[in-house]
Amino acid sequence: MADLDIVIRNGTVATAADVMRCDVGIRDGRIVTLADKLPAGDREFDAGGKFVLPGGIDSHCHIEQLSSSGVVCADDFYSGSVSAAFGGTTTIIPFAAQHHGQSLREVVKNYHACADPKAVIDYAFHLIISDPDEQVMGQELPALIEDGYSSFKVYMTYDALRLDDHQMLQVFEVARRHGAMVMVHAENHDMIRWLTDRLLGGGYRQPKYHAVSHPRVGEGEATHRAICLAELVDVPMLIVHVSTGEAIDEIRRAQNRGLKIYGETCPQYLFLTAADLDLPGAEGAMMCCSPPPRDEAAHAAVWQGLANGTFQVFSSDHAPYRHDETGKLASGPDPSFHQIANGVPGIELRLPLLFSAGVQGGRIDLNQFVALTATNAAKLYGLYPRKGTIAVGSDADIAIWDPEKKFTVEYELLHDHVGYTPYTGQEIRGWPETVLSRGRVVIHDGTLQVERGSGAFLPCAKPEAAQPLGKLVPEMHPEKNFGAEL
Ligand code: URP
Ligand code: ZN
Ligand code: ZN
């Protein structure tokens, strides 16, 4: 028996920092050596002409989640994690979503009951806080942060989920006190409501008006406001699924001022436009997500934000709803735009789309690709260096990419349960043909090679970036506030 369980030989290994030609040796699920030439392992993969990359971390996906409108995701933790793995992702961080009146503890228990027996790759959870009552804020949330649920999302829109500014400040304060990462869905609720009323009043009800009802200016305003709230509390924050130059400018400005403000974007903001919602009948419902896809100018701004480091994270926001009565058409075959469940699928194509148009297209380099799709999420959410890199001691979560594999996207090639992909017709160049998770060969020869439930739960450490800074911002400093204890 060899000393090494697996050797990946002759590949070009890339991390967020380096690109190097070396072999990778794996034992007991971890990377134990990187060297020019390794001795034989029990199992060998020849990666000559291939890229050996950290498995992707999809840090924004909705799996087996009950939406606020009562519709359930099409993917459970089996199909969702299988689809992720086929696309080169080895860790997912979906949401454990609280609805009004629910105990957060109970919510987390329920999501574990769904995920633990089904996931084929490793997973952690972000929390969604929609009802920050005393029990949640004073007891449950602090205890859950200690238990490894160290990031949570809040919404500035959606009737059933949104928090007002005061509630956001309260949530931010708990995050600051206990060292958690806050994620914000930033859109101006009242602008959406006002536009929706006017559109419906005028008889404009097709899916394409979803895009009109979620204006760019509303995303920019809410992003600005969220940043102000985070600055007041002095807490790091990540704005999720950013779609538009207005919001990117706000994030960039905050970063330039030294604030710990982070940004995330997703494939739908690079590969879809509002015009894609303008399909016959209710077909445009398949493309409805929030914020909505915008236009070519927004694509250019998002690419620029990816290239210049304004964005740290590229996730899928996989929010899978079938185009039938269980999903997009739950309110009937001809829904008004505001009745359509929000979200598009993308968990399997996230990495290949960015690799093709980004790396092969010359817009970002391989190190940026790794940082955006794996390393930065691991750092921001307390999983680094166990996840998100190729280094001695890290989990052997690795995707071996054939950079020249070419095909045109069609739904039949994918493994989710959604029934369609918004990316039909996209040209792909580069595909992760072998995928390892903790040294287990999950995908090889186009087939799944592990059992349902073989993924493991990952408790997240308190992220480095979210550690309390030990001082309050000047406006809150007691001496400047006449001795007030804050
Ligand atoms: O449209 C979207 N993004 N739906 C999923 C829920 C969310 O806001 O992330
Ligand atoms: Zn959101
Ligand atoms: Zn989402």
Report whether pLDDT(442) > 90.
yes
94 Cβ neighbours under 8 A, 6+ residues apart: 61, 62, 63, 64, 65, 80, 111, 115, 123, 125, 126
Pocket, ligand 1, Cβ cutoff 6 A: 62, 185, 241, 289-290, 317, 319, 342-343
Confidence at residue 355, expressed as pLDDT on a 0 to 100 scale: 99
Is residue 475's pLDDT more than 70? no
Closest C-alpha to ligand 1, atom 5:
343
Which residues are 427's β-sheet partners? 408
pLDDT at 69: 75
Task: Show the beta-strand stretches assigned E in 279-397.
Answer: 313-314
Contact 108, 77 (CB under 8 A): no
Q: Is position 42 within any domain?
A: no
- Dist. CA 327 → ligand 2 center (Å): 17
Beta bridge partners of 52: 13, 400
Q: What is the pLDDT of residue 369?
A: 98
What pLDDT is recorded for position 67? 81
Ligand lying nearest the CA atom of residue 184: 2
Kindly state the average pLDDT of the residues 29-36. 98
Where residue 476 falls among pLDDT bands split at 50, 70, 90?
Answer: low
Q: Ligand 3 centre from 191 Cα, in Å?
A: 20
| Position 134 confidence tier, pLDDT thresholds 50, 70, 90 | very high
Token pair of 86, please?
A: 């086929």
- Residue 221 CA to ligand 2 center (angstroms) comes to 16
CA 3 from centre of chain: 37
Please give the pLDDT value at position 163: 98
Strands annotated E in 287-426 = 313-314, 398-408
Query: Is the pLDDT at 471 greater than 80, yes or no?
Result: no
| Beta-carbon count within 10 A of 36 CB | 8
**What's the CA dihedral at 256, 262, 268, 273 to 10 degrees?**
-30
Distance 122 CA to ligand 1 centre (A): 22
Asked if the structure places residue 48 within a domain, the reply is: no
The pLDDT score that the predictor gives to residue 481 is 62
User: If residue 349 lies in a helix (H) or strand (E), which one and from where to where?
Assistant: none
Is the predicted pLDDT of residue 288 greater than 80, yes or no?
Answer: yes
Percent of the residues in the chain that have a pLDDT greater than 90, as a whole number: 93
> How far is the centre of ligand 2, averaged over its atoms, from the C-alpha of 361 (Å)?
28
| Ligand number, closest to the Cα atom of 289 | 1
Residue 421 reports pLDDT greater than 70: yes
The alpha carbon of 185 and the centre of ligand 2 are apart by a number of angstroms equal to 5
The answer to whether residue 438 sits within a structural domain is no
Q: Which atom of ligand 1 is nearest to the CA of 67?
A: 6
75-105 pLDDT, tens digit per residue, is 999 999 999 999 999 999 999 999 999 999 9
Asked if residue 451 belongs to a domain, the reply is no
Which residues are bridge partners to 318 per DSSP?
61, 344
Atom of ligand 1 nearest to the CA of 155: 8
Nearest residue (CA) to ligand 1, atom 2: 343
66 pLDDT exceeds 90? no
146-181 pLDDT per residue, tens: 999 999 999 999 999 999 999 999 999 999 999 999
- Atom of ligand 1 at shortest distance to CA of 60? 9
For residue 319, the ligand closest to its alpha carbon is 1
In one-letter notation, the amino acid at residue 130 is S
Q: CA quadruple 78, 79, 85, 91: dihedral positive or negative?
A: negative
How many other CB atoms are there within 10 angstroms of residue 332's CB atom? 10
The pick from 342, 347, 418 for probing ligand 1's pocket by mutation, whose C-beta has the most ligand atoms within 8 angstroms, reads 342
User: In angstroms, what is the span from residue 299 Cα to ligand 1's centroid?
Assistant: 19
pLDDT value of residue 467: 72
For residues 32 and 439, what is the distance between their CA atoms, to the nearest angstrom? Answer: 11
Tell me the pLDDT tens digit for each residue of 449-469.
Answer: 999 999 999 999 998 887 765
Ligand 2 centre distance from Cα of residue 424 (Å): 24
Q: Which ligand is nearest to the CA of 292?
A: 1
Could you report the per-residue pLDDT of 197-209, keeping only the tens digit for each?
Answer: 999 999 999 999 9
> Nearest ligand to the C-alpha of residue 239?
2
C-alpha–C-alpha distance, residues 297 and 272, integer Å: 12
Q: Is residue 69 part of a domain?
A: yes
- Tell me what the mean pLDDT of segment 370-393 comes to: 98
Minimal-distance CA residue to ligand 1 atom 4: 343
Cα separation, 62 vs 53, in Å, equals 25
Q: Give the confidence band of 191 by pLDDT, cuts at 50, 70, 90.
A: very high
What's the pLDDT band for 485 if we cut at 50, 70, 90?
A: low
Residue type, 40: A
Give the C-alpha separation, 160 to 395, whole Å: 39
CATH at 145: 3.20.20.140
Which pLDDT does position 484 carry in this prediction?
Answer: 66
Q: Ligand 1: which atom is nearest the Cα of residue 289?
A: 1
Considering its fold, how many domains does the chain have in total?
Answer: 1
- Tokens 């999420």, located at residue: 377
Predicted confidence at residue 469, as pLDDT, reads: 56
Region 311-337: mean pLDDT is 97
Asked whether residue 480 carries a pLDDT value surpassing 70, the answer given is: no
Mean pLDDT for 285-299 is 98
Residues 154, 160, 166, 172, Cα dihedral to 10°: -20
Whether 223 is in a domain gets the answer: yes
Would residue 177 count as lying in a domain?
yes
Pocket test for ligand 1, best of 290, 328, 347, 418 (most atoms within 8 A of CB): 290
Q: What is the CA radius of gyration of the chain?
A: 22
The domain in which residue 183 lies consists of 56-382
pLDDT band (50, 70, 90) for residue 479: low
The answer, yes or no, to whether residue 436 has pLDDT greater than 80, is: yes
Q: How far is the CA of 347 from the centre of ligand 3 (A)?
A: 12
Q: Mean pLDDT throughout 383-404?
A: 98
Q: Confirm whether 441 is domain-assigned.
A: no
